[in-house]
Amino acid sequence: MEAPHPAGRVSVRVGTSGWAYPEWSPALYPPGLARGGFLRHYATVFGTCEVNVTAHRLQSAAAVSAWADAVGPGFRFVCKVHKGITHAAGMPRTDLAARFIASLAPLGDGLATVLAQIPEERPRDDDFLGSLLDALAGGPTVVVETADPSWRHPGVDAVLAAHGAVRCLNHAEGPPPASLPAGPLAYVRMRADHYPAADVDRWQALLTREGEARDVYAICRHKDLPPDDPCAGLGLARRLASG
């Protein structure tokens, strides 16, 4: 889906978590397409991708440059923040955060945001959140995903707003909300096993409406889901991306 702002730039991008999945042939990848060509083909269908590997290890400049070279100028990457930063027992390591941000420099404008996933065993901790956002301040807008219910508090939203960060909407059940979390961009991870067709239409309308004012990113879960179901996983992403 590509819904332009009045200025004409793309404002709604839909994608998945990762692209290197041979099982997506032939639903997405043409039979016989080499793995090295997956990202280039993926980027002809989708406008964004959530990169998982960056959460586990810092990437070489050559690897990140290859990602940038495989996609067009309108494509945007979302890179997960290294777990050594988000899963720290104490305060986040500023040295690792600086190295993490520097490792993504070859993406240039192709880096839309970074996704900081706070582990479910950590309850609300505003000091940790503030330190995390301070450590990542040299990079793009930070999207924060939390799991423990204690993080659902207006005080957390205040910390996010003060740092120009955004709360991730992790949607696993029920109808779509009336709006997406506030911030300079909107980020939703669609995690349900299956979305009723009527809800898919409502999601499409919501994403388009939100995209009239800011950039919107929608990432569809694909793990353990069939690649050809238009109401789940890869198929849902393709349906939403088609507008």
Give pLDDT tens digits for 88-118. Answer: 877 878 899 999 999 999 999 999 999 999 9
Are 208 and 39 in contact, with CB atoms under 8 Å apart? no
**What span, in angstroms and rounded, lies between the C-alpha atoms of 24 and 60?**
26
Identify the structural domains of the chain with CATH numbers, from first to last.
Answer: 12-241 (3.20.20.410)
**What span, in angstroms and rounded, lies between the C-alpha atoms of 200 and 213?**
21
Q: How many CB atoms lie within 10 A of CB 215?
A: 21
- Close Cβ partners of 164 (under 8 Å, ≥ 6 residues apart): 141, 142, 183, 184
Interval 15-34: pLDDT, tens: 999 999 999 999 999 999 99
Interval 209-221: pLDDT, tens: 999 999 999 999 9
pTM, whole model, 2 decimals? 0.93
